[in-house]
Amino acid sequence: MRGNQTWITEVILLGFQADLTVECFLFGLFSLFYSFTLLGNGVILGIICLDRRLHTPMYFFLSHLAIVDMSYASNNVPKMLANLMTKRRTISFIPCIMQTFLYLTFAHIECLILVVMSYDRFVAICHPLHYTVIMSWRVCTTLAAASWIFSFLLALVHIILILRLPFCGPNEINHFFCEILSVLQLACADTTLNQVVIFAACVFILVGPLCLVLVSYTRILVAILRIQSGEGRKKAFSTCSSHLCVVGLFFGSAIVMYMAPKSQHPEEQQKILSLFYSLFNPMLNPLIYSLRNAEVKGALRRALWKERPA
């Protein structure tokens, strides 16, 4: 209670608002995608843990990316699947805010981990003789821990700014989860400060890191073109192209969602974009890294071969 304003206690997630047949089809399709997300990232994580040949900085960061992808999808998708199969599509206000917090945390972590992975590739290709010194395990652990801690704190700032607002209705969100922009629409007060902080955070966590990635890969491309061995160029291109695919998918959809003018993508398109980086990206990441990475495919073959009966 704030003055004569009563805080809402639950939120209605409108979701996709399709007929029963379409929603049943979406339930089956998204359940399949979610299963692939957990299985694919789980296999990547398991292979990295079991195969000592993959105990390198590159795969250390890839294991963090797999954890983030599974967590990211698990934060949003189960509730979406449940809502597709029920008419009561509500979530209590506090769990809704917690979902927003976790969503922001994992999104920020993914941005920073992708930047760190690009730096790792830059050092490996442009400074190979100093790679083990620059990318020591102490440095890798520090970079990973800093990414998690900073992401947690930045998400906490957004949540604190949200909780200062009065939420007195309406209580309907035209989305399938508690996405931050949709939650702000429920506030019955001025959200200008929140919008400014969100935009500033996007510049810092999306545009800034993307520029660093592009600079790193520009220098990597120059270094690759100087490699005399055709096999060496092929291996370097294979490793880096996988990471560039992931970067393009994630940063592209996120920038369009949060930095393009709102008139350019109405609410239905926002839901599709959110679905893309909440479900499709986490599902595609292990496929991209496994299909385009000879070391991962080799580790998977070795793991499967060991399991074969004599």
What's phi and psi for 11, nearest 5 deg? -120, 140
- Domain assignment of residue 9, yes or no: no
Tens-place pLDDT, residues 84-134: 888 778 889 999 999 999 999 999 998 999 899 889 988 988 888 889 999
Matching residue, tokens 């969602």:
257
pTM of the full predicted structure?
0.86
Does residue 122 lie within any of the structural domains?
yes
* Number of other CB atoms surrounding residue 91 within 10 Å: 20
Higher pLDDT, 275 or 307: 275
Share of the chain above pLDDT 70, in %: 86
In a domain, 309, yes or no: no
Tokens found for residue 113: 């981990």
Please check whether residue 4 lies inside any domain of the structure: no
Domain that holds residue 117: 19-300
Count of structural domains within the chain: 1
Residue 14 domain flag: no
With respect to residue 73, please indicate whether it lies within any of the assigned structural domains.
yes
Judge whether 119 lies within some domain: yes
Residues 6+ apart with CB under 8 A from 5: 166, 168, 188
151 or 241, higher pLDDT: 151
The domain that holds 123 is classified in CATH as 1.20.1070.10
Token pair 């009563």 in the structure block, residue: 6
Q: What is the mean pLDDT of residues 9-36?
A: 87
For 167, list phi and psi in degrees, rounded to 5.
Answer: -120, 95
CA atoms of 145 and 151, how far apart (whole Å): 10
Give the span between the Cα atoms of 273 and 277, in whole angstroms.
Answer: 7
Residue 307 lies in a domain: no
Spatial distance between the Cα atoms of 156 and 141, rounded to a whole number of angstroms: 23
CA nearest to 175, candidates 88, 271, 84: 271
Neighbouring CB atoms inside 10 A of 34's CB total 21
Render pLDDT for 168-183 as a digit per residue (tens, 0 to 9). 877 888 888 888 988 9
CB 206 within 8 A of CB 253: no
Q: How far from each other are the two terminal CA atoms of the chain, in whole angstroms?
A: 69
Q: Coil, strand or helix: which one is 183?
A: helix
